Amino acid sequence: MTETSFFVKDGNSYVPTSLGRGPWGPSLSGNYIGGLLGRAVEREVDDVELQPARLTVDLLRPVALQPVQMQTTVVRDGRRLRLVDAFMTQNDVLVARASGLFLRRSEHTEDTVWTTPVAMPAIPAEHDQVAGGLPMLLQSYGRDPVAGSPGVGVTEWCHDGQKFAWARETKLLVDDEPLSPFTRAVMAADITSSLTHWGTAGLQFINADYTVTLSRLPEGVWIGLAAVTHYGDAGVATGVATLFDETGPIGSGVATALVNPGFTPPASRAAT
């Protein structure tokens, strides 16, 4: 039977399907870890006027392709904000955690504030069917900033210029639950690390965390990322990407990473 989600709920546990395997070995991919943590904090907020403004995901250790459990706690519940922490455990060991900040929406200021101008390539053409059951449609841009190429940007991102990506999840996160706009953005934001840390010699870093900030929720199913900065010294790096939906910028992704030379990406499981 064709798998349609990355996790199946079993009592108090979430059981990974084979779709959840990441590129670093027989362990869960960081975007699905972040997605499950994002889902957990979002379920602690029932006020539709509270905007999910920030989620930081700490990837504490590799997560095996085995059941995980989730716990949440509301750290602060104020009139204008709610702060929620989420914890992922496996075999009673903490393997990942997240902190989610929700801010109350209000009338926005009319003042003009400077920001770095960033232009994304056009969203890829839609496809009626997803070939081969791919878990994600991913189009990478770099060497070719207009047409790009499908899948992880092994060639596209291997240069010293700006890099871009459009991503669209094709599977569900848990059982038959629709992906929320917030969860969709959280999962896509994990691409920030590869996008911003990929250089002329390939991907020489592995991220220890990632953060997504949102001024608004995305519209549509495509999430875009444009690399903005990469700074590194003594084996530690930080990268920032601007996040987009089909109408324009929506926030930022940030990833801190450690030097990890010699990584060879496997054949991409994300393509158009």
For residue 88, pLDDT over 60 is answered with: yes
pLDDT digits (tens, 9 = 90+) for 238-261: 999 999 999 999 999 999 999 998
Q: Sign of the CA dihedral 257, 262, 266, 267?
A: positive
Per-residue confidence at 132, pLDDT binned at 50, 70, 90?
A: low
For residue 131, pLDDT over 90 is answered with: no
Q: What percent of the chain is predicted at pLDDT more than 90?
A: 82
Q: Is residue 115 part of a domain?
A: no
pLDDT at residue 152 in the model: 85
59-63, 130-134, 159-163: which range is least confident on average? 130-134
For residue 32, pLDDT over 70 is answered with: yes
The CATH number of residue 96's host domain is 2.40.160.210
pLDDT at residue 236 in the model: 97
pLDDT at residue 265 in the model: 61
- pTM here? 0.93
Q: Is residue 268 part of a domain?
A: no
Q: Is residue 219 part of a domain?
A: yes
Which three-class secondary structure state does DSSP give residue 12? coil
pLDDT digits (tens, 9 = 90+) for 157-188: 999 999 999 999 999 999 999 999 999 999 99
First to last CA, the chain: 23
Per-residue confidence at 127, pLDDT binned at 50, 70, 90?
A: low
Query: What's the average model confidence in pLDDT over 47-53?
Result: 97
Question: What is the number of structural domains in the chain?
Answer: 1
For residue 218, pLDDT over 50 is answered with: yes
* CA pair distance 236, 231, nearest whole angstrom: 8
Query: What's the average model confidence in pLDDT over 62-73?
Result: 97
Q: Is residue 85 part of a domain?
A: yes
Q: Is residue 17 part of a domain?
A: yes
Domain with 169 in it: 5-105+120-259
Per-residue confidence at 92, pLDDT binned at 50, 70, 90?
A: very high
Per-residue confidence at 272, pLDDT binned at 50, 70, 90?
A: very low
Query: Considering only CA atoms, which of 6, 61, 62, 75 is closest in space to residue 36?
Result: 6
Q: Is residue 272 part of a domain?
A: no
Q: Is residue 111 part of a domain?
A: no
* CA pair distance 271, 9, nearest whole angstrom: 27
Query: Considering only CA atoms, which of 269, 242, 196 is closest in space to residue 19?
Result: 269
For residue 204, pLDDT over 70 is answered with: yes
Q: Is residue 74 part of a domain?
A: yes
Residue bearing the bigger pLDDT, 86 or 131: 86
